[in-house]
A and B are shown apart, each in its own frame.
Chain A
Amino acid sequence: MRDWQRKTYLASVTDRYVKGQMDRRSFLRAAGKLGLSVGALGAGFGLSGRRPFFNLAPSAFAEGSLEPSPEMMKWLADVGKPFAGTTLRLATESTPPSNAIANSLKPFFEKASGIKIEIEVLPLEQVLQKLTLDVASQLGTYDLYYIDQSWAANFSQDVFDPREQIKDKPDLAYPDYNIDDFLPPLVDGIAKYKDRWVGVPYDIPIFIMQYRKDIYDELGLKAPETMDELLTNSQKITEAKGPQLYGTTGQMKSGHYSLECDWTCWLWGHGGQIFDTDRKFVGNNDAGIKAIEYWDKLKKTMPPGVDGWTWDGEGQSVSQGVAASMLSWGEFFPFFDDPKSGKISGLMEAAVPPKAITLISPDKTGFGEIPGVGHQGGSSLAVSKYSKNPDAAWVFMQWATAADTQALITVLGGGTGPTRTSVYDDPRVKANARVGAGTTRHLPVVRETISKYMGSEPDLPEWAEISSDTIPVALGQYFAGQYDSPKAAMDDIKTKVEAVLKS
């Protein structure tokens, strides 16, 4: 048996044991066949009940198997030689890939290349603040930029296009880098601004349908395929189980970016669009109004308090068994499977988002908006033009976004979505597709959603203000009952958005 097959088998056995489909003795026997003694499986058994052993995610791997490949280490050692002793800096949002690099993978890079890397992990809006100051002062404090998809327009001129870097620095190029491996929709939606690549796709949180299999089965429901089904399913659950359990949930905090994310999902799902080809706001057209009316009905099936939650409260409400489904960030799926974080480990299933009623094609929109129910919130990684060590930074960037590293990130970072095609098929990633913290069992759905259902926000420099203030503040007012009708609210948003665009 090859090593990864052995691991996949162990993972599935473990999964069955954890779900209670297998007794302890047959589990130990199966494990024994793989050459694992009880001791090797860790202390988990002695503490079972209180502390199931799969908490030590990802336990499907033996010590040392989750390390960069020898080829990668050798390349780093060769190419890094001239830069030994250099220190690189990166400011990034606290996301699974950045945390995996900062906490686990960084030492491998530093040891092999001799380049020191300092990673500053911050909440999203603080990253924007730091990058803006860096760009405005052209200080070159940060050698690498973490660029959220909504900022691509702002920073497109401040970073190197990775395709040019590959061409201009053949001696620094990692032979197996394969830039065509990045999923094309992500390149379009995240990294590209006009004709430039603003770095490469680094992270991809995306809306997928996540629901409680047990509740759906109990009530005889199936994963919603249309917007209507999502609503009726949620209504049935809330009727049957409320106020203990609600049909669905949301991230609807007034004045917060998350509210705008939810809005786009319903807007696009009803054939709406934010901007038309004349770059005018048209969220107040008929489709836009229908979306709000639908949202109103759906909100009645959500737990009270949803309008105070960002993605954190939304995720917690599912994880703690308050809501039975969410059409939201797929990044949360591994968290739901973590038995220490919540009460629903192993009970969630993932599906592609419900189909849009109609969908506007991207050529009918403005500012590069791509309508789609699977709202994406990805980010890219790029080398700053103001960096004093752009070559060393480029070496780091290739390493951090190479397929080998991304596979490790996916496994170590808790099942986050990869941005490269090949990583979805990586045996290490597949081996982790079992119930437990850091699972990757939702990734096939993520991959399908990216290729078929993904929606991307428009790219314009004013978007940061429109998406995190103008729209979510007005929508917050709407849900607090300060507008007479959806039409009045959306018309007002149009006026305000146009005022921002004008100034």
Chain B
Amino acid sequence: MPGSSLSRYLRIAAAWLVAGLFFFPIYYWTSVAFRDGRDIFSRPPKIFDFSPTLDNFQKVFGIHFGQGSLTVTPGGGNFYMAPRLWDSIVIGVGSTILAVAIATLAAYALSRIHFRARHSFVGWVLSTRMMPPVAVAIPMFFMYKTLGLLDTYLGMILIHALMNLPLAVLLMKSFFDDVPKEIDESAVVDGASRWLIFRRIVLPMARGGIAATAVLCFIFSWTEFLFALTLTQTQIKTVPVVSTTFVTSVGTAWGNMAALGAAAIVPAFIFVLAVQRHLVRGLTMGSLKQ
């Protein structure tokens, strides 16, 4: 829709303004990571004119830039976060692979093979996301205890994959719906099996969709809190769980919390940026094809 150049510039300006408004809290929070207490809590609040410090990162990651001696601080503490970021990455990547693999298989069948209960089957899959996490956490705790999955990567990967499956199935189905059916129909005539068609023809064509699904699964796993809290103990800790430990009996270590938050945005954001283009395309969910 070409418009006059004035309206074009207005649109560009408005787009940057809107993105700026959404970005501001992220900027502000990141800047808190570089402040000491005086600059976080000042009246009026400081936006740009604070004196930057790396103290929060030193404390949170247990690294020392330059001279340092004893590490304990009132209200904070040295939480050695690097391993925790690693836990989040392992669980995020693991659960994403599992969820995408299972969802891809199922979604292909739902897209290509007609069976009577198909519509209600998808409805049922979606309904598994309606259960409040609070209601799942306690039975899961007892089940995991019996199975020995408590506090393990496998346990966390399974539960996060489960949580993401309904969304992943819907997304992947929409992508397969986008791949013209004529292609695999002609292959069937040629005598190729479903599995072969799936692996050699449909899957490669839906690569973008897999990327988009993966990003969303990864984001939801990265930010999940309740399962990560209930089903882990001392061995594994994800970023959201660790973040809450900065709320202490002698106040909240805001700077430390922000430092971990800022550091935790980076890996997730790299993942998102890498597949951003596929993401937008992938979210159509096939709803236009009917």
Contact = CB atoms under 8 A, between A and B. Distances in A.
A326 B68 CA distance: 33
Given A95-B248, A341-B36, A335 B74 contact: yes
Contacts of A121: 77, 79, 245
A219 interface: no
Interface stretch (B8-16, B163-171, B249-257): B249-257
Interface residues on B, range: 35 or more
B271 interface: no
Contacts of B247: 94, 123, 312
B249 A205 contact: yes
Interface stretch (A151-159, A167-175, A313-321): A313-321
B138 to A, nearest CB: 8
State the majority secondary structure of interface residues on B. Answer: loop
A150 to B, nearest CB: 13
A122 interface: yes
B234 A120 contact: yes
A57 B72 CA distance: 8
Interface centre among B73, B78, B138, B229 (most CB of A within 10 A): B73
Nearest to B62: A103
Nearest to B233: A141
Contact of A414 (B43, B75, B142, B230): B75
B234 to A, nearest CB: 4
Contacts of A139: 145
B71 interface: yes
Interface string B240-266: 000011111111100000000000000
Nearest to B73: A414
B42 to A, nearest CB: 7
B251 A335 contact: yes
B68 A56 contact: yes
Given A56-B68, A95-B250, A341-B36, A122 B74 contact: no
Given A141-B233, A412-B72, A320 B38 contact: yes
Contact of B252 (A42, A137, A312, A320): A312
A42 B74 contact: no
B67 interface: yes
A102 B77 contact: yes
A95 B76 CA distance: 9
B36 A340 contact: yes
B124 interface: no
Contacts of B87: none
A201 interface: no
A342 B73 contact: no
B29 interface: no
Contacts of B42: 320
A344 to B, nearest CB: 10
A14 B42 CA distance: 28
Given A126-B229, A340-B55, A315 B73 contact: no
Contact of B43 (A137, A322, A329): A322
Contact of B70 (A50, A58, A205): A58
Contact of A340 (B37, B78, B251): B37
29 contacts: A42-B69, A43-B67, A57-B73, A91-B233, A93-B248, A93-B249, A96-B250, A99-B248, A103-B71, A120-B234, A126-B244, A129-B230, A133-B141, A137-B142, A311-B250, A312-B251, A312-B252, A316-B37, A319-B41, A320-B37, A320-B42, A331-B250, A340-B36, A341-B37, A341-B74, A342-B38, A377-B249, A415-B74, A437-B73
